[in-house]
């Protein structure tokens, strides 16, 4: 996807570190990330465009909106991700005018006033960095709870490894953060009221210019300016004072952290208070703007330098909550949901069964397609510029890759594995350069499940031979998926019987093909929770149903919805079904 990260800042902030960290991870996954902001200090991949969001006059805001529209159109931006109030306001308007999906990460407590309540400007979804932000958005601004999710800061945990305890001749306390705004006020009070600058060696790392009021501390504290290698600074510290990312990163290095932020002072972070401390983003957000007993802090800081606790266990819990890979996974989920539901467009997954040459091969059930019509379908797909995906492609490249900018993807699936798939489908796949997924029954030689149906028996149709299956798989045009041994209604079987049907089928196909299977199809589309759990336990990344499941395929990879193709589905009918919005219109109707 093409993603625009929008920030408004004049110096390094936690929001910038978050945006560039997850942005680099998204780039690594194949997305294309762009940035727009007043400044951008952190190293990053992707183009950066300067836009002075902090100039907030009415003419300036019109200019911001116009420039954003230009960027969205020029770079085919598919989703805008804003990270501040100033940028989100302009992005919200630009996205409304262009129909572009938008997400806002809310990194701090929001001002409460009438205009903010009426015009949240958060886009399609808000990602609150902690529970305190989420609660304030709901209680103070009236944002609907269903529009908010928790979106933790993502940390590249490999950059922050445990370090030995430093051998300092006197305790070294590092304060990391801005010297302007509320954080600057906090730092000033810590230096003025809470820290014995003769007893401790205090060092302050900040990208801010040193304000005049801090001049009085220069002889007693070390103002380091902007520090590129923050982990090295933390490694020399006996205690780190900070909030948000500063606290998380220090914990990962197993250095003691005294959490104090713009709202609260949770104090030394231990296993006992970690959950509550995370909920406030390590002190940065609370029910009030400032709720700190500064008179009590000197004793609490002194005690923090002497308390023993299990730093390794604490670091493991923080790593699990803020690991960059997990956070990026969640972010991709939000991006896909917002994109698909906002545009009401999903990659079509069409479902065939068998193919015939003439009317004599027609069946009782409507699961056949004349090969001449199949070729017309393929001609239409080629004319419309569709490219085919398989579930093996999605397993390798990630589910979000289906939304790649400038691409029109479709997934062609074929159930049961009839001999005519080899004889009629396979030549057309080669002719048009298309790929398909065939779900293969392995415990039968013909369609016994239909032939022996007491209510509506079908004519006998042969399944493919092992040699035919291998030849199709070796071509690179066909992915084979599991479809049970005997094609039963899985929801009528107990879990052990389902396991036998699914596991044996998978083992037989993987032995035949000498490769892992990527997807499974529930016969008749019939399944229950046991079926879905078994598909996952057996190692399938995906499982497909028929006409059930979420409208966005990534929202339940074990109940992916498909679009059935019937004998009467002509070229116009296929065009209607592959437009991307078909399942949205169908379910609404």
Does the domain formed by 158-316 have CATH 3.40.50.2000?
Answer: yes
Q: Cα-flanking dihedrals φ and ψ of residue 133, to 5°? A: -65, -45
H or E element in which residue 322 lies: helix 311-322
Output the pTM of the full model: 0.88
User: End-to-end alpha-carbon separation of the chain, Å?
Assistant: 30
Cβ count near 498 (within 10 Å): 23
Is the Cα torsion angle 89, 92, 95, 101 positive or negative in sign?
A: positive
Distances 462 to 366, 371, 396, 430, 574 between C-alpha atoms, Å: 17, 17, 33, 22, 27
- pLDDT for 120 equals 81
Q: Cα-flanking dihedrals φ and ψ of residue 91, to 5°? A: -65, -40
Half-sphere exposure of 350 (CA within 13 A, CB side): 26
**Could you tell me whether strands 409-416 and 349-352 are parallel, antiparallel, or unpaired per DSSP bridges?**
parallel
Apex CA 342: angle with CA 340 and CA 343, to 5°?
Answer: 65
Q: Which of 324, 325, 332 is nearest to 557 (CA)?
A: 332
Q: In whole angstroms, what is the distance from residue 62 CA to residue 51 CA?
A: 12
- pLDDT for 271 equals 94
Homologous superfamily of 344-588 in CATH? Answer: Glycoside hydrolase/deacetylase (3.20.20.370)
The answer to whether 2-154 and 158-316 have equal CATH topology is: yes
Q: Cα-flanking dihedrals φ and ψ of residue 222, to 5°? A: -100, 110
Q: Which residues on adjacent β-strands are paired with residue 479?
A: 437
- pLDDT for 589 equals 47
Q: In whole angstroms, what is the distance from residue 374 CA to residue 376 CA?
A: 5
- The domain at 2-154 falls in which architecture? 3-Layer(aba) Sandwich (3.40)
- Both tokens of 576, joined, read 């209607």
**Contact between 265 and 89 (Cβ < 8 Å):** no
Domain ranges of the chain: 2-154, 158-316, 344-588
- pLDDT for 108 equals 83
H or E element in which residue 349 lies: strand 349-352
Cβ count near 364 (within 10 Å): 12
Per-residue pLDDT of the chain (589 residues; tens, 9 = 90+): 999 999 998 888 888 999 999 999 999 999 999 999 999 999 999 999 999 999 989 999 999 999 999 999 999 999 999 999 899 999 999 999 999 999 999 988 887 776 666 778 899 999 999 999 999 999 988 999 999 999 998 888 888 999 999 999 999 999 998 898 888 999 999 999 999 999 999 999 998 789 999 999 999 999 999 888 999 999 999 999 999 889 999 999 999 999 999 889 999 999 999 999 999 999 988 776 678 999 999 999 999 999 999 999 999 999 999 999 999 999 999 999 999 999 999 999 999 999 999 999 998 888 999 999 999 999 999 999 999 999 999 999 999 999 999 999 999 999 999 999 999 999 999 999 999 999 999 999 999 999 998 888 999 999 999 999 999 999 999 999 999 999 999 999 999 999 999 999 999 999 999 999 999 999 999 999 999 999 999 999 999 999 999 999 999 999 999 999 999 999 999 999 999 899 998 876 4
Q: At what angle do helices 85-98 and 58-74 cross, to 10 degrees?
A: 60
H or E element in which residue 183 lies: helix 181-189
Q: For residue 11, give the 3-state DSSP assignment.
A: coil
Apex CA 124: angle with CA 122 and CA 128, to 5°?
Answer: 55
**Contact between 197 and 172 (Cβ < 8 Å):** no
Apex CA 135: angle with CA 133 and CA 139, to 5°?
Answer: 120
- Using one digit for the tens of pLDDT, what is the confidence trace for 446-480? 999 999 988 889 999 999 999 999 999 999 999 99
Q: In whole angstroms, what is the distance from residue 502 CA to residue 382 CA?
A: 35
- pLDDT for 115 equals 67
- pLDDT for 157 equals 87
Rg (CA), the chain: 29
Is the Cα torsion angle 560, 561, 567, 571 positive or negative in sign?
A: negative
Q: For residue 224, give the 3-state DSSP assignment.
A: strand
Q: Which residues touch 503 (CB under 8 Å, ≥6 apart)?
A: 534, 538
- Both tokens of 529, joined, read 């929770």
Apex CA 292: angle with CA 172 and CA 224, to 5°?
Answer: 30
- Both tokens of 22, joined, read 């997850």
**Contact between 403 and 334 (Cβ < 8 Å):** no
- Using one digit for the tens of pLDDT, what is the confidence trace for 423-434? 999 999 999 999
**Contact between 301 and 258 (Cβ < 8 Å):** yes
Q: Which residues touch 448 (CB under 8 Å, ≥6 apart)?
A: 486, 487
- pLDDT for 588 equals 62
Q: Which residues on adjacent β-strands are paired with residue 81?
A: 5, 103
Q: In whole angstroms, what is the distance from residue 449 CA to residue 446 CA?
A: 9
Q: In whole angstroms, what is the distance from residue 462 CA to residue 441 CA?
A: 11
Distances 175 to 20, 107, 127, 196, 427 between C-alpha atoms, Å: 22, 20, 27, 14, 68
């Amino acid at each position: 996807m093409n993603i625009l990260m929008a920030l408004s800042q004049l110096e390094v902030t936690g929001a910038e570190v978050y945006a560039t960290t997850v942005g680099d991870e998204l780039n690594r996954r194949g997305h294309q990330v762009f940035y727009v902001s007043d400044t951008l200090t952190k190293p990053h991949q992707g183009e950066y465009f300067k836009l002075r969001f902090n100039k907030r006059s009415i003419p300036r805001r019109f200019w911001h909106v116009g420039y954003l529209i230009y960027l969205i159109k020029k770079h085919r931006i598919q989703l805008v991700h804003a990270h501040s109030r100033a940028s989100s306001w302009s992005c919200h308007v630009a996205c409304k005018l262009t129909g572009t999906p938008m997400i806002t990460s809310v990194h701090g407590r929001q001002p409460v006033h009438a205009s903010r309540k009426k015009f949240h400007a958060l886009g399609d979804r808000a990602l609150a960095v902690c529970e305190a932000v989420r609660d304030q958005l709901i209680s103070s601004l009236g944002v609907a709870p269903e529009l908010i999710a928790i979106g933790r800061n993502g940390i590249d945990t490999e950059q922050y490894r445990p370090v030995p305890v430093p051998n300092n001749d006197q305790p070294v306390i590092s304060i990391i953060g801005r010297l302007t705004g509320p954080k600057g006020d906090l730092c000033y009070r810590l230096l003025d009221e809470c820290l014995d600058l003769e007893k401790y060696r205090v060092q302050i790392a900040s990208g801010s210019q040193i304000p005049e009021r801090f001049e009085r501390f220069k002889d007693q504290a070390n103002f380091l300016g902007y520090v590129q290698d923050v982990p090295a600074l933390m490694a020399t510290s006996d205690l780190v004072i900070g909030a948000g990312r500063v606290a998380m990163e220090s914990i990962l290095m197993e250095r003691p952290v005294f959490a104090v932020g713009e709202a609260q002072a949770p104090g030394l972070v231990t296993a006992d208070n970690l959950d509550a401390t995370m909920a406030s983003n390590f002190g940065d957000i609370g029910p009030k703007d400032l709720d700190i007993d500064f008179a009590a802090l000197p004793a609490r800081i002194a005690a923090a330098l002497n308390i023993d606790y299990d730093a390794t266990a604490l670091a493991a819990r923080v790593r699990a909550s803020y690991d960059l890979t997990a956070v990026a996974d969640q972010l991709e989920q939000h991006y896909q949901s917002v994109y698909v539901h906002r545009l009401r467009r999903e990659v079509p997954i069409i479902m065939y069964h068998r193919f015939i040459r003439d009317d004599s091969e027609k069946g009782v059930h409507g699961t056949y397609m004349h090969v001449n019509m199949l070729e017309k379908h393929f001609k239409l797909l080629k004319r419309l510029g569709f490219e085919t995906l398989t579930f093996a492609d999605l397993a390798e490249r990630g589910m979000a890759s289906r939304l790649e900018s400038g691409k029109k993807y479709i997934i062609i699936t074929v159930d049961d594995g009839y001999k005519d798939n080899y004889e009629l489908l396979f030549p057309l796949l080669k002719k048009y350069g298309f790929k398909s997924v065939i779900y293969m029954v392995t415990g039968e030689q013909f369609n016994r499940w239909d032939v022996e149906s007491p209510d509506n028996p079908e004519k006998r149709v042969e399944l493919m031979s092992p040699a035919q299956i291998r030849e199709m798989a070796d071509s690179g045009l066909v992915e084979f998926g599991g479809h049970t041994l005997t094609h039963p209604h899985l929801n009528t079987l107990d879990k052990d019987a389902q396991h036998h049907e699914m596991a044996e089928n998978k083992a037989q196909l993987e032995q035949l093909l000498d490769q892992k299977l990527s997807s499974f199809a529930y016969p008749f589309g019939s399944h229950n929770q046991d079926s879905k759990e078994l598909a996952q336990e057996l190692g399938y990344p995906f499982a497909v149903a028929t006409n059930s499941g979420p409208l966005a395929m990534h929202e339940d990879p074990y109940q992916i919805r498909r679009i059935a193709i019937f004998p009467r589905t002509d070229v116009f009918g296929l065009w209607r079904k592959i437009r991307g919005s078909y399942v949205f219109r169908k379910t609404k109707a």
